Amino acid sequence: MISVAIKCKYILSTAFLLLLMYTLQAQTPLMLFGDTTATGVPFSKDPYVLKFNGKYLMYYSKKDPHNTNTNTGWSIGIAQSSNLIDWEKIGEIRPARAYEKKGICAPSAIIKDGKVHLFYQSYGNEAKDAICHAISADGIHFERDASNPVFHPNGDWTNGRAIDAEVCLYDHTYYLYFATRDPGGKIQKLGVATAPEATDFSRACWKQASDCSILQPEFKWEGNCIEAPSVIVQDDTFYMFYAGNYNNAPQQIGLAVSKDGLHWKRVTNNPFLANGKPGSWNTSESGHPDIFRDSDGATYLFYQGNNDNGKSWYISKLKIDWQKGTPYVNHTANAIQFTKQ
């Protein structure tokens, strides 16, 4: 009787999980943010979230309302929230220097000495795109670094491009992760640079830490592209959430791990977070991740998606739990983050 009871409990639990996963596919997240200020169509990409002065700030890529050209004309939006669900746009950073004139996008940020340090890329210059840096006392109004652009890679493994910056601090060293391309400009892959803890993040501080890619496409689902690294340190181990494949191919989110921040291996050969099933808000992709740790220790994965091959773009999030040091999506915990369509 005990054996039969255990089997029944297992069957019911499995059935409940399958039903829950099916239900989630037909639902819309409570957080589904899309900036409509440029064209009237929701369009927000490349999220980065931090908590500053008691408020959550989200930086993201958006179409510049003054230039909506498909391949250029990007600016950075700023939204604010008190609960990580409801967001209100409160600012925008528009191109303001010659090296930015075709657009800026893919922001990330870090708090140092009570100020927000924003890292972003120039856009529309192909191999000449590079990482830039700006500083703000309020998280909204930024002053550019006089040494901009502050970083681009060199060597025979890269075409010199640097995009999708991610900066994290560990053991008195700042790590700058970035995406670049092979000399032919076809394969997108990742690299890393470092700076000492006392850095001001200017150009002279960054030293390329590897003369080869730290992660490049290997599996079919990654296509010709690995980009958008987002790194969190948990129990002295680096975890990197990354985007595999180009936009809407579909792009999906992978997971890699490292002990030193320089040498990486995948946790799984499959996507950590796949694109949605037909009919879902993210059928075309789940991409460009941002892993955020809140002040209470809770972690959330922000990411972009759409279901119309990029005519619109939304940003959403999932709560991430940890088991034996490894992150996973707790579907039961995330059920309350959804509402039926």
Least confident of 10-24, 212-226, 234-248, 267-281: 10-24
Decide if pLDDT at 11 tops 50. no
Cβ 180 vs Cβ 153: under 8 Å: yes
Summarised one tens digit per residue, pLDDT across range 63-87 is 877 665 555 689 999 999 999 999 9
Summarised one tens digit per residue, pLDDT across range 142-200 is 999 999 999 999 999 999 999 999 999 999 999 999 999 999 999 999 999 999 999 99
Instruction: Report the alpha-carbon distance of residue 65 to residue 63 in Å, rounded.
Output: 6
Is the pTM for the entire model greater than 0.75? yes
Where residue 325 falls among pLDDT bands split at 50, 70, 90? confident
Decide if pLDDT at 22 tops 90. no
Tell me the mean pLDDT in the region 7-31. Answer: 53
Instruction: Report the alpha-carbon distance of residue 301 to residue 307 in Å, rounded.
Output: 19
Nearest to 35 by CA among 312, 228, 301: 312
Decide if pLDDT at 340 tops 70. no
339 compared with 159, residue with greater pLDDT = 159
Decide if pLDDT at 97 tops 60. yes
In the chain the domains, ranked by start, together with CATH numbers, are 2-340 (2.115.10.20)
129 compared with 27, residue with greater pLDDT = 129
Tell me the mean pLDDT in the region 302-321. Answer: 97
Summarised one tens digit per residue, pLDDT across range 105-146 is 999 999 999 999 999 999 999 999 999 999 999 999 999 999
- Give the per-residue pLDDT at 39: 87
Tell me the mean pLDDT in the region 273-298. Answer: 97
195 compared with 26, residue with greater pLDDT = 195
Work out the mean pLDDT of the chain and round it to a whole number. Answer: 91
- Give the per-residue pLDDT at 8: 46
Where residue 25 falls among pLDDT bands split at 50, 70, 90? very low
Angle at 158 between CA 152 and CA 163, to 5 degrees: 45
Tell me the mean pLDDT in the region 92-98. Answer: 95
Angle at 312 between CA 182 and CA 330, to 5 degrees: 80
Tell me the mean pLDDT in the region 246-256. Answer: 98
CA distances from 269 to 121, 129, 275, 320 (A): 29, 30, 16, 19
- Give the per-residue pLDDT at 71: 55
Tell me the mean pLDDT in the region 258-268. Answer: 97
- Give the per-residue pLDDT at 31: 94
